[in-house]
A = this chain, B = another copy of it.
């Protein structure tokens, strides 16, 4: 799906995390989003280390956003989890591929990436939350 699964999980989770005040529990988040809890825990730890989340241990602990939702772009999250140059590679697999040594697809692909970057830079967690699919998915009465 172009980005890592972990990045997708992160977007889902971050869209459902409080901006300040109360902390939210990994367990609750995972349950609500129907994601593998221990894996989500790992991802949230990474986001905390990256400064995107604040964490607190012990009772009443959990995670919350470190900034206002409209201050956190999708790009920040991508870069935090997949590295700053997640979008920098050459489509054709050339080890070097830039304006002065372009691969045959360089220009066409730069256009694609430009639009993609514009999209992930301008989209923030506030946008995700607005559109949010917080309808508790009617799947099947799930036990456990």
Contact = CB atoms under 8 A, between A and B. Distances in A.
Contacts of A115: 111-112, 115
Number of copies of chain A assembled together: 2
A51 interface: no
24 contacts: A1-B88, A1-B90, A1-B93, A2-B87, A7-B93, A8-B91, A8-B93, A9-B93, A11-B92, A11-B93, A11-B105, A15-B104, A103-B133, A104-B127, A104-B131, A104-B132, A105-B123, A105-B128, A105-B131, A108-B119, A108-B123, A112-B112, A112-B115, A112-B119
Given A1-B89, A104-B129, A104-B131, 20 more contacts: A1-B88, A2-B87, A2-B89, A2-B91, A5-B93, A8-B91, A9-B93, A11-B91, A11-B92, A11-B105, A12-B94, A74-B105, A103-B133, A104-B127, A104-B130, A105-B131, A111-B115, A111-B119, A112-B112, A116-B116
